[in-house]
Amino acid sequence: MIYVDGFLLAVPKRKLRAYKALAKKACAIWMDHGALEYHECVGEDLEVKMCKPFTKAVKLKRGETVVFSWISYRSRKDRDRVNAAVMKDKRMQPLMKGPMPFDVKRMHYGGFESMVDG
C-alpha cells in the first residue's frame, strides 16, 4: 500500500497563477526524487451541505479558494527519503524564499497510510 502526504490550503484567487507556477516546479522536484504521484487541485464544488466543507477548515476568506493536494510514495520510509532529498535539492531554495502565494499558517498537512486502493 502506498503512503500519501495530504495538504489543504487557502489561496487568494488573484495568486492562483503564481501558486500554479510554484506547484509545477515543486512537482518536477518531487517526481525527480521518486514520488509516485503529485497532484494539486483547485476548489470547484465547495458549497457542500452534507458535512463540514473544506472552506471552513481553512477559514476561507473573500477572494480565496481552496487547494487540495497530495503526493504519493511507495512507503513512509520512501516518503522520508524523498522529502529529505527534496529539501537538499538546490531547485527548492528559490521556491522557499520570499512571500508564498498563500497563508502558510492556514495550511493543513498530514501523512497517511493507504487503507483501500482502487
pLDDT, mean of residues 4-16:
98
Count of alpha carbons within 13 Å of 82, Cβ hemisphere only? 25
Whether the pLDDT of residue 48 is over 80: the answer is yes
pLDDT, mean of residues 30-47:
97
Kindly report, residue by residue over 97-109, the tens digit of the pLDDT: 878 999 999 999 9
Whether the pLDDT of residue 83 is over 80: the answer is yes
In order of 37, 56, 114, the CA distances from 4 in angstroms are 9, 23, 7
- pLDDT grade for 68, boundaries at 50, 70 and 90: very high
pTM: 0.93
Please report the domains of the chain, with CATH numbers, ordered by start residue.
Answer: 3-45+63-113 (3.30.70.100)
Whether the pLDDT of residue 114 is over 90: the answer is yes
Helices (H), the chain: 16-32, 54-57, 76-88, 92-96
- pLDDT grade for 49, boundaries at 50, 70 and 90: confident
Q: Would you state the pLDDT for residue 50?
A: 86
